[in-house]
Homo-oligomer: A and B are copies of this chain.
Amino acid sequence: MDNNFELPNKQACLDQLTKLGIEYIVHNHDPVPTMEDVVKVKVGDGTAYVKNLLYVDKKSNYYLILANHTTQVGKLFWKTLGLASGNMRLSKEEQIGEALKSSKGNVNPFAVANDTNNLVKNIIIDEELTKYQKLALHPIENTSTVEISLDDLQNKFLKILNRQFTVLQLTDVAAEQKLEQQQKQEQQQKEQQKDQQNLQTLAITVKKSDFSEWYQQVIRKAELIEYYDVSGCYILRPWAYFIWEQIQRFFDDLIRTEEVENTYFPMFLSAKHLNKEKEHVEGFKAEVAWVTKYGESDLNEPLAIRPTSETIMYPAFAKWVQSHRDLPLKVNQWTNIVRWEFKFPTPFIRTREFLWQEGHTAHSTREEAVKQVYTILDFYEQVYGELLAVPVIKGIKTESEKFAGGDFTTTVETIIPQNGRGLQGATSHHLGQNFSKMFEINFEDDKKQKSFAWQTSWGLTTRSIGAMIMFHGDDKGLVLPPRIAKYQIVIIPIIHKDLNEQQLNERCEQIRQILIKLKLRVHLDSRDNYSPGWKFNKWEQKGVPIRLEIGPGEFKNNEVRVVQRFDNKKYQIKLEELNQLNQILDNIHNAMLDKARSDLNSRIKQADNWKDFMSQLNQRNTILTRWCQREECEKQVKTKSGIESKEKDSEIDGQVQLTGSAKTLCMPLKQDQIQEGQLCFHCGQQAKKYVLWGRSY
């Protein structure tokens, strides 16, 4: 007998059945591609409608399942066959074509005759079918149905084709349910494990005492910064940029009271203008980036990218200022700035591109300009204190540290408590008439005399955000002062079996609405794929000032649990007391500032002689000394302290010692009068001023 036949169509199939001596009844009808259609074909009682399922694994082994149409085909039976259910997929159209030369809606056991490559490894027959006299099957095409006995199919058809077949129970309801539960549990375990892993990746792996590494981790894990492939440039993510926007709004409001107007000057600068103020250009030229090309062409004249905008703005000032009535002229701009620095870049603290504001004013008298310088300095102190909760010391820079081309520079300096390094927070310069003479910014005074304008310039950068992070962050991550936090409060529902989830979510939403009305910035974290523990960690790391937890206890008692990020204080408040949260946030701000101030103060020591000076420096302090105010002396201190600190052991008490010179940070505005006979701590000449020395950022 020819056991190598193929069945290209219905007629060939029916002919072959006849040839094999298989008894059949045939019904012709419209196509019945789905089981829904199939069962509409009238067949005899005792005839089972057969569901034909073609499975395939990743290695293209095919398995044809013939199941009673009412059988829920489970997964367990695969195991009986030594196969993994997880590997099995229902065949797609093209796979049906590959294995059976057939198509979807036309899968049937007769088509196995067309599997000339022996891809179908087994035909699995539902034990249920053994209970029926006949099976209703399609003879290749679903426009007919034949009724034949299972026995004929097995022994007269499949055996001739040399095909393996197995009769099996396809569903074990209890077992299948058990399996399903088991898989669900496994899935949950996996997710919890992932949660744990996430927590571990999320967690900062070092303590704050390992300061540099800690800082790098905090800024990334709190989602403030993303790294970028141009050295010294960083991406400010929304969590950080929001802080900058708060600073912008706060400072804009302050300078508006001084009638400063915002403006925008071009970023490019011709060499001619840049070179106009000699001291100024000397101070910046090594760091200036130059555009020399566009497209494929060279520019006629290279253009500098602004490192600061004095020389960009002042030619225009000269046009605008004619009479004393055009003064004061006060403008400000918020821009990006480029300084191609060589020192190791640190996000926020020292970057090659950064954001800042720069204010520029011109006045008719020196007094007025000097007053402007100090008013702005006060504003900077407010930005640091009232927004960022960072204390600063107002002072004047020494001659060697002042702004290149200016007359004198005032500064707000802070000291990072962790390492005692000084950090220049913002500077406000008195430019005198240096620039106005170079750029011919002159005016006719009320006595018709020509006079040069008196000028100021002042700037505050994204560096301020870095100082804030360094001051307040802790081992768990970022700690945001409330006034700059994008979310001041995060609400976390604690789902519990005793609590109706929908009711809980409604309560949380209700609380959120109350807080919005209180003008608080609030976020409800109702994600269902993270555990409360994961969320606690996440928002702690991002520094959100207050977490509100609502669990079964809080729900029942109409309370919320308040957890303060800054000091981890936890307490309950009633729903009707939610309006206290504004005050609570203010209290947190004040407490953070107080603590920061005391941390800063602990890093300022006094010294009367060189030995004490170096000893304090090596204990990571800044040092306030009497000083002769001579540049030569300042230079010597810088050199000597650099040399001597290199000679020290690199570790003291297990702590890595900082090396590097001490330089002057500032001469604080608030300082005692120096008496005749009080001497410079270093050179022994008559002292003139107290000055603060330290290593610096």
Query: Across the interface, do A267 and B236 meet the contact criterion of CB distance under 8 Å?
Result: no
A241 contacts which of B262, B273, B294 (Cβ < 8 Å)? B262
Query: Across the interface, do A265 and B305 meet the contact criterion of CB distance under 8 Å?
Result: no
Residues of B within 8 A of A230 (CB): 266, 268-270, 303
When chains A and B are docked, how far (Å) is the Cα of A261 from the Cα of B237? 9
When chains A and B are docked, how far (Å) is the Cα of A237 from the Cα of B320? 11
Tell me the residues in window 273-301 of chain A with beta carbons closer than 8 Å to chain B beta carbons.
Answer: 273, 285-296
Judge if A344 is at the interface, Cβ distance under 8 Å.
no
Query: Across the interface, do A228 and B266 meet the contact criterion of CB distance under 8 Å?
Result: yes
When chains A and B are docked, how far (Å) is the Cα of A66 from the Cα of B547? 90
Query: Across the interface, do B293 and A235 meet the contact criterion of CB distance under 8 Å?
Result: no
Assess A264 versus B235: contact at CB under 8 Å? Given A229-B270, A230-B303, A336-B335: yes
Query: Across the interface, do B266 and A316 meet the contact criterion of CB distance under 8 Å?
Result: no
User: What's the least CB distance linking A409 to chain B, in Å?
Assistant: 23
Assess A331 versus B238: contact at CB under 8 Å? Given A245-B262, A288-B294, A295-B287: yes
User: What's the least CB distance linking A299 to chain B, in Å?
Assistant: 8
Judge if A234 is at the interface, Cβ distance under 8 Å.
yes
- Determine the residue in chain B with the shortest Cβ distance to A272: B229
User: What's the least CB distance linking A192 to chain B, in Å?
Assistant: 17
Query: Across the interface, do B287 and A263 meet the contact criterion of CB distance under 8 Å?
Result: no
Query: Across the interface, do B294 and A355 meet the contact criterion of CB distance under 8 Å?
Result: no
A413-454, CB under 8 A of B: which get 1 and which 0? 000000000000000000000000000000000000000000
A295 contacts which of B265, B268, B288, B302 (Cβ < 8 Å)? B288
Judge if A340 is at the interface, Cβ distance under 8 Å.
yes
Residues of B within 8 A of A286 (CB): 295-296
Judge if A325 is at the interface, Cβ distance under 8 Å.
yes
Residues of B within 8 A of A336 (CB): 267, 335-336
- Determine the residue in chain B with the shortest Cβ distance to A226: B316
Residues of B within 8 A of A270 (CB): 229-230
When chains A and B are docked, how far (Å) is the Cα of A234 from the Cα of B265? 7
Query: Across the interface, do B293 and A290 meet the contact criterion of CB distance under 8 Å?
Result: yes
Assess A266 versus B235: contact at CB under 8 Å? Given A293-B290, A294-B290, A319-B226: yes
A293 contacts which of B268, B289, B331, B529 (Cβ < 8 Å)? B289
- Determine the residue in chain B with the shortest Cβ distance to A312: B228
A213-237, CB under 8 A of B: which get 1 and which 0? 0000000000000101110011111
A291 contacts which of B234, B262, B266, B289 (Cβ < 8 Å)? B289
- Determine the residue in chain B with the shortest Cβ distance to A264: B236
Residues of B within 8 A of A551 (CB): none
Judge if A315 is at the interface, Cβ distance under 8 Å.
yes
Query: Across the interface, do B263 and A238 meet the contact criterion of CB distance under 8 Å?
Result: yes
Judge if A379 is at the interface, Cβ distance under 8 Å.
no
When chains A and B are docked, how far (Å) is the Cα of A325 from the Cα of B353? 32
When chains A and B are docked, how far (Å) is the Cα of A471 from the Cα of B319? 29
Residues of B within 8 A of A237 (CB): 263
Residues of B within 8 A of A288 (CB): 294-295
When chains A and B are docked, how far (Å) is the Cα of A287 from the Cα of B338? 21
Judge if A250 is at the interface, Cβ distance under 8 Å.
no
Residues of B within 8 A of A319 (CB): 226
Main secondary structure of the interface of A (DSSP, over half): mixed
Query: Across the interface, do A242 and B268 meet the contact criterion of CB distance under 8 Å?
Result: no
When chains A and B are docked, how far (Å) is the Cα of A293 from the Cα of B319? 32
Residues of B within 8 A of A226 (CB): 316, 319-320
Assess A292 versus B292: contact at CB under 8 Å? Given A266-B235, A316-B226: yes
A263 contacts which of B236, B266, B294, B316 (Cβ < 8 Å)? B236
Assess A262 versus B238: contact at CB under 8 Å? Given A229-B270, A267-B353, A325-B529: yes
Assess A292 versus B293: contact at CB under 8 Å? Given A263-B236, A266-B233: yes
User: What's the least CB distance linking A265 to chain B, in Å?
Assistant: 5
Residues of B within 8 A of A529 (CB): 325
User: What's the least CB distance linking A542 to chain B, in Å?
Assistant: 14
- Determine the residue in chain B with the shortest Cβ distance to A286: B295
When chains A and B are docked, how far (Å) is the Cα of A450 from the Cα of B3? 45
User: What's the least CB distance linking A36 to chain B, in Å?
Assistant: 24
Tell me the residues in window 514-559 of chain A with beta carbons closer than 8 Å to chain B beta carbons.
Answer: 527, 529
Residues of B within 8 A of A228 (CB): 265-266, 316
Query: Across the interface, do B262 and A355 meet the contact criterion of CB distance under 8 Å?
Result: no
User: What's the least CB distance linking A264 to chain B, in Å?
Assistant: 4
User: What's the least CB distance linking A343 to chain B, in Å?
Assistant: 14
A340-357, CB under 8 A of B: which get 1 and which 0? 100000000000010100
- Determine the residue in chain B with the shortest Cβ distance to A331: B238
User: What's the least CB distance linking A535 to chain B, in Å?
Assistant: 14
Residues of B within 8 A of A265 (CB): 228, 235-236
A selection of 19 A-B contacts at a CB cut-off of 8 Å is A226-B319, A226-B320, A230-B266, A230-B268, A230-B269, A233-B267, A233-B268, A235-B316, A237-B263, A238-B261, A241-B261, A264-B355, A286-B295, A286-B296, A287-B294, A288-B294, A289-B294, A290-B291, A290-B292
**Other A-B pairs, 19, CB within 8 Å; known A238-B262, A245-B262, A288-B295:** A228-B316, A229-B273, A229-B315, A230-B270, A235-B266, A236-B263, A236-B264, A241-B262, A242-B262, A244-B264, A266-B353, A267-B338, A267-B353, A285-B295, A288-B294, A291-B291, A292-B293, A335-B336, A336-B336
Measured CB to CB, the residues of A under 8 A from B are: 226, 228-230, 233-238, 241-242, 244-245, 261-270, 272-273, 285-296, 302-303, 305, 315-316, 319-320, 325, 331, 335-336, 338, 340, 353, 355, 527, 529
Closest 5 CB pairs of A and B: A238-B261, A294-B340, A233-B266, A236-B264, A290-B293
